[in-house]
Structure formats: structure tokens, C-alpha cells
Amino acid sequence: MQLGTGASVVRGAARNARVRPLRTPACAECLRAATLDVRIPPSRALFHAGRPRPSAWAAAVSVAGNIVSNAVTRATKGDMPSVDPLRIVAKEMKFLTGNIRKLLGSGHPSLDRAAKYYTQAEGKHVRPLIVLLMSRATSLCPKAPQRQQATFQASAAIDTSISPPSILSDFNPSAIPESEPAYTDVDILPSQRRLAEITELIHTASLLHDDVIDHSVSRRGSPSANLEFGNKMAVLAGDFLLGRASVALARLRHAEVVELLATVIANLVEGEFMQLKNTARDEANPQWSEETLTYYLQKTYLKTASLISKSCRASALLGGSDAQTVDAAYLYGKNLGLAFQLVDDMLDYTRSEKDLGKPAGADLELGLATAPLLFAWKTMPELGSLVGRKFGNDGDVARARDLVMQSNGIEQTRALAANYAEKAIEAISSFPDSEAKDGLIEMAVKTLKRQN
């Protein structure tokens, strides 16, 4: 990368990134809160405890509301040329969909078709792309000698079963024939490539289930699987994907990575439950409170950032990285995941169905109060009664939408997303300079610029 290009300017910003200066003087509590971890200690999770607690996240939100222009916002304005993250791992990405389909074969033709259905349309493949970039970027980072054995085992036999095949009884007509050499690269290990495929499998499984829950009619510009096959088969296809993802995970022969990715599946379900059910207080008597925002951000971590953060961590573990690198990879993924979902929730208000490839404005129709509305609600108490009845009366959706558009909820959401994107870049600032690191930085910038 040449000095003076936009990417290197952003990279320079990443090296120097600190908590941003504020328009108004920052209170110490806000700054402390902005650095806190979103993971929920079980005893303190809002959905377990009825008792309100001081909200670290709401303080982080007020920090975000005040951030001034910075490297990320400059880059999103388009005055910086950028690297193309996809090009950096293009060879691996080229084989991704084919490899995933090889993991999904079933002797039953209907299941085979349903399981592979969402692999037909070109998805964005954001998660595997991040895992591959992280694998390449961390290949240059310091190693932990005690992890070398696990690293070697994880890459040795990713297509070899642990139990005898006769016991497994899991015929896969699409499996890679023994003689077919898999594509390998020097700095991305076979186990890391397989991890990228596993993240896409888990994500796709969650979409198959999500589309049933959301009564979706379209996905990636085509009819959704629930419409094409019916709810029962769509749910079962999702379960099949999870089963095959679990098999592939076990064959990495790396217990810590298995624990991380298995926890992601539990987190996804818990996040979806949190989304289905508001806090007890909001169900009974909706009033804006910091607890509402905290709950939303916890839900967002579980639903979206958990998969990205834990797969980034797993990628560093599979590469044999030292503890500092493993933690940095996790923090990058966590902050990027939060930024990604905030932008998603913003686009639901600002983009058309044509742009998104799925119905726009779906969140309010589904009764969901996401970041733009939660920010608006703070200054527009009228939104409380609409939240309480999940926008269920005639005219509620249009009224809520109007109020959000009159408020600064969209700008606040964008600012919070930018704050997380900055933190993602800061997390990897100690990584050695490389094209892959530039790609990770660019992913954070692109997350804010994306239109669908």
C-alpha cells in the first residue's frame, strides 16, 4: 500500500485512534462506560432480572451522540480512495459457495434443495469475508507456542470423520471426494477457511428460521424459503444446516473453537427471544429509559455481533495467535457487529424495498422498536403508547415512522454506529501493517457506507 492513499490515511487513523473528542465536555462516567464490554453477566442480564440497573450502554449512547467528525466519517463522505476487501481474499471467496454446498448434500432431494436454497442467490458473505481477512491479518501477529499443537490438529483433517462413518449414518452425496485436492493458501489455513464456511452456515440457518418468524416473503431478491417450501421445511432445512455446521466444527478438533461457535448458536436464539419479548417494564407501561436502550444493545450483541466477534476470535485461535491478538480479534468483531446491525436498523427506515432486496420498513410492521425509534422516543414521549401496543393499531406504523423522521433518531443511530466502527479499527491498531489489515479497516468504513 502506497503512503498517502486514502487507505493508509485511515490506517494511520487506526494507529492513532483513541476515544474521540466530544463536542461537549465528556463526563468521566460516559468515557468509562464507552469502553465497557457488552457481554451480559448471567446474573445481571435484563431479561433475567426485574430490577433496573445503572445503564453503561446508555452512557455509551450519549458519548456516541456527541462524537465529532473523524477518520471514519471523513472516509464515508467519499473523499478517500479505498482498498477492496473482497479482492484481498478473492481466491478463497471464489470457492466459498461451492464448498458450502459440498457440506450440505442430502440423499433426500427435497431436503437437498431446501438446504442449498439460500446458497443460490449471491449473498454478501460478510461474515466469511471478515473471517478470511482476520485469518490473513493475524497470520503476521505473534504466536502462542502452546497453541501450535491445537493449530496443527485443527488443519490436519477437516474432512475426516472422528467416529467411523458406518456409525455416523450421515450420507452426503455432495461431499468432497477423497482424491480432490482442496484449494489451500499459505497464510490462510484449511481450518480457517472451513471456519469461514461454518460462519456462513450458521448465519444462513438463522435466516431460514428468521424468515419463518418474520413471515418474510423475499430474501436476496428471491422468494424466501418459507414461501418456496413452507414453514415446516424451512425450519427443518435450518436445523439441517446447523447439524452440518456442527459436524464441520467438530472436525476442526479444537475444543475452544467448538465452544465459541456453539455458544453463538445459543446467543442467536437468546437474542431473537429478547427481540420477540420486550422488557417486562415496556410490556406493562412503556416509558423511555436507559434500560430500554441497554436491552436493545444487549439484544443486538447476541443477535448479530456474537457471530462476528466469536468467529474473529476463533480465527485467531486457529492461527495459533497469542492472547493479545485473540482478544483484539474479538473486540474488532464485537464493535463491527454492533455497527453493522445499527446500520441495518437505520436502513430499514431510509432505504426502499428495491435497494434492500427485501421489504423496507419491516421492523415497525413486525412491532420492533430499533435504535432510530428508541432515540426518537427519548424526546417524543408519544411514541411510548405505540411501542406498548407494538404499533398494532391502524395508522400506528405510519405515525411512528413520521415521528422518527422528524427526530434526530437516524443521525443518532448513524453516530453510534460510527463510534463502534471506530472502536473496531482501534482494536486492531497493533496488528502489523498488511493489505488484510487495510481490508478489515475498510470493512468498518464500508459498514457505515452500505446502502443494502
CB neighbours of 1 closer than 8 A, spacing ≥ 6?
7, 8, 11, 83, 433, 435, 438
Residue span 279-318 as binding mask against ligand FPP, x where in contact by CB under 6 A, dash where not: ------------------------xx--------------
4-26 CB burial, b ≥16 within 10 A, e <16: eebbbbbbebbeebebbebeeeb
Q: Is 61 in the site for ligand FPP (CB under 6 A)?
A: no
d(CA 47, CA 273): 10
Footprint of ligand FPP on 358-417 (CB under 6 A):
358, 362
Nearer to ligand FPP, 144 or 364 (CB): 364
Nearer to Mg ion, 45 or 362 (CB): 362
Q: Which does 268 bind (CB under 5 to 8 A by kind): ligand FPP, Mg ion, none?
A: ligand FPP
Query: Which of 187, 269, 365, 401 lies at the binding interface for ligand FPP (CB under 6 A)?
Result: 269
Stretch that binds ligand FPP, among 23-31, 268-276, 426-434, 444-452 (CB under 6 A): 268-276
Q: Which does 202 bind (CB under 5 to 8 A by kind): Mg ion, ligand FPP, none?
A: ligand FPP
CB atoms closer than 10 angstroms to residue 49 = 12
Residue in 149, 323, 174 with CA at minimum distance from that of residue 244: 174
Hey, what's the cell of 177?
A: 471426494
User: Could you tell me if residue 4 is left (phi over 0), alpha (psi between -120 and 50 degrees) or otherwise beta?
Assistant: left
The position carrying cell 497453541 is: 147
Query: Which of 185, 228, 272, 435 lies at the binding interface for ligand FPP (CB under 6 A)?
Result: 272
Nearer to ligand FPP, 94 or 124 (CB): 124
Hey, what's the cell of 154?
A: 485443527
The conformation of residue 304, written as its DSSP 8-state character, comes to I
Footprint of ligand FPP on 311-340 (CB under 6 A):
none
Nearer to Mg ion, 200 or 210 (CB): 210
Following DSSP, what letter does each residue of 69-120 receive, concatenated? P-HHHHHHTT-S----HHHHTHHHHHHHHHHHHHHS--SSHHHHHHHHGGGT
Is the Cβ–Cβ distance between 147 and 180 less than 8 Å?
Answer: no
CB of 334 to Mg ion, least distance (A): 22
CB of 158 to Mg ion, least distance (A): 31
CB of 440 to Mg ion, least distance (A): 27
Residue span 193-222 as binding mask against ligand FPP, x where in contact by CB under 6 A, dash where not: ---------x--xx--xx--xx--------
d(CA 329, CA 43): 26
Axis-axis angle for helices 306-318, 148-156 (nearest 10) = 100
Q: Is 265 in the site for ligand FPP (CB under 6 A)?
A: yes
79-96 CB burial, b ≥16 within 10 A, e <16: ebebbebbebbeebbeeb
CB of 9 to ligand FPP, least distance (A): 33
Query: Which of 210, 363, 438, 442 lies at the binding interface for Mg ion (CB under 5 A)?
Result: 210
CB of 129 to ligand FPP, least distance (A): 16
Residue in 61, 67, 66 with CA at minimum distance from that of residue 294: 61
Residue type, 316: A
Q: Is 438 in the site for ligand FPP (CB under 6 A)?
A: no
Q: Is 344 in the site for Mg ion (CB under 5 A)?
A: no
Nearer to Mg ion, 200 or 344 (CB): 344
Q: Is 262 in the site for ligand FPP (CB under 6 A)?
A: no
Query: Which of 197, 200, 214, 442 lies at the binding interface for Mg ion (CB under 5 A)?
Result: 214
Following DSSP, what letter does each residue of 146-198 receive, concatenated? GGHHHHHHHHH-TTS-SS-HHHH----TTSPPTTSPPP--SSS-HHHHHHHHH
CB of 238 to ligand FPP, least distance (A): 5
Positions touching Mg ion (CB under 5 A) are 210, 214
Positions touching ligand FPP (CB under 6 A) are 202, 205-206, 209-210, 213-214, 238, 242, 265, 268-269, 272, 303-304, 358, 362
